Structure 1
Amino acid sequence: MGRWEPNAQERLQHAAMTLFLERGYTEVTVAEIAERAGVTKRTFFNHFTDKREVLFAGAPAFEDRVVQYLAEADDGLDAIDAAVMALTRAGTDLLANYVEYADVRRKVIAASPELHERNLIKMSSLAAAITRALDTHRESSRAAAFAAQAAVTVFTAAYDDWTEDTTAEFDALMQESLTCLRKAVHPI
């Protein structure tokens, strides 16, 4: 392997995305990702539990940031607005780190039922974290769960739009998605 080089996690993510793009997710092994990144398989497993997690590495930090921003939200905001604000701020903060491979990631997940399921699990975890934060601070359990699910739906739609055009302003995409949700729930 040679001399130790910094940023192993970023190099592993870059290698994985490049290989996924070149050959497809199912055709790439952990050993190939590690080799392309210039690290051992052991180093790969120091950073990721499995190959799927390369695509979801930022999820825990994102969830933590959303909960932090939700705790800082103005008490005057209703639950869904507070949750959307927290998701918008976290998205604006962290998505810039994923611009290079946003489209590849979206396509890889869409092409794999296993990865689509993993993405749904991550979104469910995010909604549960938002529910707990809302339930603690401002809403009943049921209202918190409804607001959290709605806010995650808004985020998912905005994120999908952003992956198709990473030059778009994420906060504008979030507001467009929230407006669409409000129109769907309360038609004029």
Structure 2
Amino acid sequence: MARWQPDARGRLEAAAFELFRERGFEQTTVADIAGRAGLDKRTFYRLFGDKREALFSGSGHLEEVLAKTVAETDAGPFEVVIAAFERMAEEVFVDRLELVRARQAIIESSPELQERELRKVGSLVAAVTTALRAKGLDETTATLATESGVTVFRVAYARWVAPGSDASLAELIAEVAAELRAITSPPGRR
């Protein structure tokens, strides 16, 4: 009988990531992932709904960091959202550029994963908008601040994962936010 080993979730995530990089998402089965992790398919399905979730399981943590920062930050709505994305970058993405680039390449190779990434971003938008509404902002203000902040994050993220990038994600978020402020300011205030 095999000896029990801890961190089945982490082992399955690592195995899925390795196999998706080696074989591609479509060519990797749940049985392949479980086998690489030294587990069975039943354990996989107990921890993940499907093989996509092995790549996207950290979304809940991202939502928590964003919502907590929104609740704790006292600034204008857009600045609160930018602060939340900067904190997420500092707490979650720091020193992970090569890993994130590899993950992004996996996502870009599969329309199914691209769709799942869009749903993940939608969940982040909903979490931030809800946190802003909990601070008393009206729906329009909360939505505009969140969508503007998410746009800043997306542009900064794309710059960060691009080959040759050496700035931190938090620095790029601040840079892109400044660019957005500049293009939305009246001509005399740029």
TM-score (norm 1): 0.89
Q: Name the SS of the counterpart of 1:94 in structure 2.
A: helix
Segment drifting more, 10-19 vs 30-39: 10-19
Give the 5 Å matches for 1:54-65: 54-65=54-65
User: How far 1:108 moved relative to its partner?
Assistant: 1.4
Give the 5 Å matches for 1:108-127: 108-127=106-125
In the alignment, which residue of structure 2 is the partner of 1:66?
66
Amino acid of the residue matched to residue 172 of structure 1?
E
Distance 1:50 1:96, change over 3 A: farther
How many residues of Structure 1 are paired with residues of Structure 2 in the alignment?
186
1-structure distance, mates of 2:173, 2:37: 35
Indicate conservation of the 8 Å contact 1:131/1:148, yes or no. yes
**What is the RMSD computed on CA atoms of the aligned residues?**
2.0
In the alignment, which residue of structure 2 is the partner of 1:16?
16
Give the 5 Å matches for 1:14-163: 14-74=14-74, 77-96=75-94, 99=97, 101-163=99-161
Amino acid of the residue matched to residue 180 of structure 1?
E
Taking only the aligned residue pairs, the percentage that are identical comes to 39
Distance 1:173 1:17, change over 3 A: same
Max Rg structure: 2
Distance 1:50 1:93, change over 3 A: same
2-structure distance, mates of 1:11, 1:163: 25
Distance 1:93 1:37, change over 3 A: same
Indicate conservation of the 8 Å contact 1:80/1:147, yes or no. yes
The one-character-per-residue Cα deviations of 1:104-129 (angstroms, maximum 9, x if unpaired) are 21011112222111111111111111
Amino acid of the residue matched to residue 62 of structure 1?
L
**Structure 2: segments with no counterpart, 5+ residues:** none
2-structure distance, mates of 1:119, 1:112: 11
Distance 1:47 1:58, change over 3 A: same
**Structure 1: segments with no counterpart, 5+ residues:** none
Q: Name the SS of the counterpart of 2:52 in structure 1.
A: helix
Indicate conservation of the 8 Å contact 2:94/2:169, yes or no. no
Distance 1:66 1:27, change over 3 A: same
